[in-house]
Amino acid sequence: MKKLVLSISALIFVAAALQAQPGGFTRRTPEERAARIHQKFDSAFKLDVSKLATLDTALTVLFKTQDTRMKEIFENASDDREAMRETMKTERKKFSDAEDEIIKMMLTAEQFTIWKEKIVPAMRPQRPGSFGGPVGSGN
């Protein structure tokens, strides 16, 4: 009886531990990424509906193009991982600049500064460093 209780307890513990593990990395769809930006814009700047619709469409098209391009680079990569990494970095920079241009068209210069300095950093996933602090905290 004692072995049975111990076995069941161990099984429950293993099941609970497996449930607690986060799933693998899944990239958001272009629509989800555009919707996230839409939500931030709507709450921070209260833009009119037509501007938000234009923003959604432009960003969704941009993100779909970006995903397609990144997939092409990855599929056409040779054994040179460093070259692929540099190519992807350059392409990400191009798409990031294009995203900034789209957003600049929707905002005033003051609003864009708020967007880049306060909202965008808050949207980035926080990765804890050693002892649960932010990476590069120096503490």
Residue 16: pLDDT band (50, 70, 90) is low
User: What is the Cα 111 distance to its own chain's centre?
Assistant: 22
- What does the DSSP 8-state code read for residue 126? P
3-state secondary structure of 139: coil
Query: Domain spans of the chain?
Result: 30-122
Query: 53-112, pLDDT tens digit by residue?
Result: 998 999 999 999 999 988 888 887 777 788 888 888 998 999 999 999 998 988 889 989
Lookup: tokens for 50:
């037509």
For residue 139, pLDDT beyond 60 = no
Q: CB–CB of 91/69 below 8 Å? A: yes
Q: How confident is residue 46, by pLDDT bands cut at 50, 70 and 90?
A: confident
For the full predicted model, state whether its pTM sits above 0.75. Answer: no
Q: What is the mean pLDDT of residues 20-26?
A: 60
pLDDT on residue 40: 85
- Euclidean distance between CA atoms 64 and 74, whole angstroms: 15
